[in-house]
Amino acid sequence: MSGCSPAEQDLTLGTEEGFAAASLPAIQSYQEGQASYEPYSFERMEELKGKRKFALFFHASWCPTCRKIESFLLENLAGLGQATILKADFDTELELRKEYGVAVQSTVLFFDAQGAVAQKAIDPSLDSVRSFFAL
C-alpha cells in the first residue's frame, strides 16, 4: 500500500475470516453506554467531537467490501464497548469526502476524543477496529 503511513498499512489488512455473509440487521441507534452504528449527520459528528472516540465509515451500497465491513461491525457491535461508528454515504457525501481526503469507499476514519483524525484505514480488520476503541 504505497502512500500509507505504517499505522494505516496495519489497518488496511482486512480479512474475510469469520465474516458471515448473512442478511444484515438495521443500523443500530445510539444508546448511552453501548456501542452504536448510526447514519452520519453533521450534528451527530459535532456532538461526538471533543467527548469520545468515534469512527466515520464511508460506505457504498454497491461495494462488496463495504457490505463485508458493515456485516462484521453489526455482528460484533456488542463487543466494541462504547464505540460509536457513523455511516456516511460515499456517493452522496462529496464535501465530507473532500474535507477528509477520502478517495476510496470502505475507508474508515478513526477520531480521537478531541475530534481529530487519529487513524485512516481502507478495509480495516475487526481486530483493528477493536484495538482503536480499546485504547
2-56 pLDDT, tens digit per residue, is 333 333 333 333 333 333 333 334 454 444 568 899 999 999 999 999 899 999 9
53-109 pLDDT, tens digit per residue, is 999 999 999 999 999 999 999 999 888 888 999 999 999 999 999 999 999 999 999
pLDDT of residue 82: 86
Residue in the block written with cell 452522496: 92
Helix (H) or strand (E) holding 86: strand 84-89
C-alpha cell recorded at residue 13: 489488512
Classify residue 121 by its DSSP letter.
Answer: E
**Global pTM exceeds 0.85:** no
CA distance 25 to 44: 21
Domains and CATH numbers, the chain: 35-134 (3.40.30.10)
Residues contacting 64, CB < 8 A, separation 6+: none
